[in-house]
Amino acid sequence: MGIIHADNVDYDYQEYNDDGTPGEVSHAVKDVTLDIRPGKFIAILGHNGSGKSTLAKHMNALLLPTDGTMWVDKLDTKDDDETWNIRQKAGMVFQNPDNQIVASVVEEDVGFGPENMGVPTDEIWRRVDESLEKTGMIAYRKHSPNKLSGGQKQRVAIAGVMAMKPKCIILDEPTAMLDPNGRKEVIKAVSDLNKAEGVTVVLITHYMEEVIRADHVFVMDGGELVLQGNPREIFSQVERLKELRLDVPQVTLLAYELKKAGVPLPDGILTREEFVNEMCRIRAEKNGN
């Protein structure tokens, strides 16, 4: 069993009519089974309302399955006694940078998590230093979080989670409200943590370019897992992704369009370098014949 393991997880919620009477029951997550190995970089894609955030909230016991079981590092999230343990093992970063800052100074914000866990003061400061160093925010430790850019605030939020020494970090559209620079900063910080620290990363996003470096991609639609594979396998399915209201990186789309027009390119090209190399290969073969 991996660090996160879902066994036939369902999540239903009751809708209410305007007069307060119970209405329909919505099935936000339907029969999801998945296993995430430690140290992997996982991406979850899906359109607005596909159930991906609801699923993510199960990964640190913010929501509990209506049916089925969610395991975090072999702990059942339904076990009340383990809730705090689970949240320490799997930390969560949300979309809006302004909604997750709790203190008026960066270093105190980062120290908030370990302090709540009862970590000794010396150890808290050590962890604060280390986390700020790793997210590239050490120069801002005495700053007020309000004066930071969106990307910097998200890196502080990530540092705050890292200070709790989690095994897994779940990021629910962490870059949706950021500009391209902020997006790059955050993705770099996350990817460095994954590589250098071996922290398992679960990244939920609408930006296809952020997914190309993931080890494995899950795609959700209507609360169900509908596709999974490595980025190349996923992005080879251009038409299917469009049906799911998603997209592919622009270079992948270009290669797909050219292939349709008869240019012998492989499926699922993900990067500019790959594309240019393939074009050179095609030209060489053409000239060779």
Partner 1 sequence: MAIKLDHVFYTYSEGTAYEMHALKDVSLEIPDGQFLGIIGHTGSGKSTLIQHLNGLMQPTKGTVSYNGEDIWADKYDRRNLRFHVGLVFQYPEYQLFEEDVLKDVCFGPKNMGLTPEECEKRAREALEQVGVPEEIFRKSPFDLSGGQKRRVAIAGILAMNPDVLILDEPTAGLDPKGRDEILDQVKYLHDKRGITVILVSHSMEDVAKYVDRLIVMNKGEKAYDAIPSEVFSHYKELEKIGLAAPQMTYIMHDLKEKGFDVDVHADTVEEARDSILHALGTRG
Residues forming contacts to partner 1 in the complex (CB under 8 A) are 18, 46-49, 95, 149-150, 173, 176-177, 179-182, 206, 208, 242, 245-247, 249-251, 253-254, 257-258, 261-263, 272, 275-276, 279-280, 282-283, 286
Give the SS3 label for residue 25. strand
Strand order in the sheet with 224-229: 90-93, 168-172, 200-204, 41-45, 216-221, 224-229
> At closest approach, how far in Å is the CB of 45 from partner 1?
9
Q: Is the Cα torsion angle 10, 82, 155, 133 positive or negative in sign?
A: negative
> At closest approach, how far in Å is the CB of 288 from partner 1?
15
> At closest approach, how far in Å is the CB of 246 from partner 1?
6
> At closest approach, how far in Å is the CB of 209 from partner 1?
8
What is the enclosing helix (H) or strand (E) of 274? helix 272-288
Nearer to partner 1, 123 or 257 (CB): 257
> At closest approach, how far in Å is the CB of 255 from partner 1?
10
Give the SS3 label for residue 89. helix
Nearer to partner 1, 71 or 256 (CB): 256
Nearest to 133 by CA among 164, 99, 110, 166: 110
Query: What is the rounded CA–CA span in Å between residue 145 and residue 274?
Result: 40
Nearer to partner 1, 200 or 205 (CB): 205
Nearest to 10 by CA among 2, 49, 26, 60: 26
Nearer to partner 1, 30 or 153 (CB): 153
Tell me the HSE value of 228 on the side-chain side, using a 13 A CA sphere: 14
Nearer to partner 1, 1 or 280 (CB): 280
Nearer to partner 1, 131 or 252 (CB): 252
> At closest approach, how far in Å is the CB of 231 from partner 1?
16
